[in-house]
């Protein structure tokens, strides 16, 4: 969905001459051809990057390192490599390992902060990135020309492109993206074990549906994100658990003033910032 949406946006803008898809599933790739998302495909990553001037890794986080290793010696001299992974520290480490201990100047780590709870190429849409942020986290070895080319590509897809330090990105996204997804998965799992069974979902109102929507996201992707951004996610989880403990104590003590302060502060913060 992430790679397909980018391909569709770039094709619509006339930005690309040819899009070659590569994955493990010939069936999925053929579906992408049928939908007009890609022009051709191969199951071989080495074959896929031949002649490419822009290589985009839109794969689960734990696939990035072996994928980079497989194509490292087969990339065209002027080709740019970028990715769409949600944790940038691990991606930069993967690139460092794949390219002999140093990030190549043509590698630009990136993260489109856009998505849907659906996955697969059937969920791709050509306007997914319009007015959504894409964060680039180039290393000190990344060339300014490579950053410009990747920035231009995402802007062509309609995105707002910003640059951050990789660790800062991972800390912020752990709190604002990774933690909410984990909480949504956890809440649905908790309710699934309720003594009332499926009845709890029969009476789910709009608030639950809105909050739990992201629990329909790809489990493989979110497993990998948890493992690849472990420290930042654990820090965010620990902060949340402490606040949850405080909230529980306020309810237990029937502390009306404290509850009002917690809820009012949350409302004011959200209304001001979102």
Which backbone phi and psi does 128 adopt, to 5 degrees? -60, -35
pLDDT over 90 (residue 263): yes
pLDDT digits (tens, 9 = 90+) for 166-175: 999 999 999 9
Q: State the chain's mean pLDDT as an integer.
A: 95
User: For residue 205, what pLDDT is reported?
Assistant: 79
Element containing residue 76 per DSSP (H, E): none
**Cβ–Cβ < 8 Å for 121, 147:** no
What is the location of CATH 1.10.3660.10 in the chain? 169-273
Displacement of CA 229 from its chain's centroid (Å): 12
Q: Give the confidence band of 266 by pLDDT, cuts at 50, 70, 90.
A: very high
**Cβ–Cβ < 8 Å for 95, 103:** yes
Displacement of CA 17 from its chain's centroid (Å): 26
What is the location of CATH 3.40.50.720 in the chain? 2-164
For the domain made up of 2-164, give the CATH fold: Rossmann fold (3.40.50)
User: CA 201 to CA 37: how far, in whole Å?
Assistant: 36
Question: Mapping DSSP to helix (H, G, I), strand (E, B) and coil, where does residue 128 land?
Answer: coil
User: For residue 120, what pLDDT is reported?
Assistant: 87
For the domain made up of 169-273, give the CATH fold: 6-phosphogluconate dehydrogenase C-terminal fold (1.10.3660)
User: CA 76 to CA 53: how far, in whole Å?
Assistant: 7
Element containing residue 160 per DSSP (H, E): strand 160-163
């Amino acid at each position: 969905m992430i790679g397909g949406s980018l391909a569709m946006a770039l094709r619509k803008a006339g930005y690309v001459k040819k899009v070659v898809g590569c994955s493990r599933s010939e069936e999925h790739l053929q579906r992408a051809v049928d939908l007009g998302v890609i022009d051709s495909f191969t199951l071989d990553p080495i074959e896929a990057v031949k002649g490419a001037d822009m290589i985009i890794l839109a794969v689960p986080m734990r696939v990035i390192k072996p994928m980079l290793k497989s194509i490292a010696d087969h990339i065209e001299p002027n080709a740019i490599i970028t990715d769409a992974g949600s944790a940038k520290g691990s991606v930069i480490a993967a690139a460092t390992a794949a390219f002999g201990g140093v990030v190549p100047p043509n590698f630009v780590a990136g993260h489109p902060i856009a998505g849907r709870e659906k996955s697969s190429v059937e969920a791709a849409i050509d306007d997914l990135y319009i007015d959504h942020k894409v964060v680039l986290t180039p290393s000190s070895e990344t060339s300014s020309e490579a950053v410009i080319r990747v920035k231009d590509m995402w802007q062509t897809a309609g995105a707002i492109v910003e640059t951050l330090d990789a660790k800062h990105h991972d800390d912020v996204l752990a709190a604002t993206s990774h933690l909410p997804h984990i909480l949504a998965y956890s809440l649905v799992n908790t309710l699934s074990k309720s003594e009332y069974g499926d009845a709890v979902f029969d009476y789910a109102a709009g608030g639950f549906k809105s909050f739990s929507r992201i629990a329909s996201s790809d489990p493989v992707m979110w497993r990998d994100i948890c493992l690849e951004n472990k420290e930042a996610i654990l820090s965010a989880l620990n902060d949340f658990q402490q606040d949850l403990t405080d909230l529980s104590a306020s309810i237990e003590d029937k502390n009306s003033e404290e509850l009002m302060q917690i809820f009012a502060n949350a409302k004011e913060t959200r209304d001001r910032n979102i």
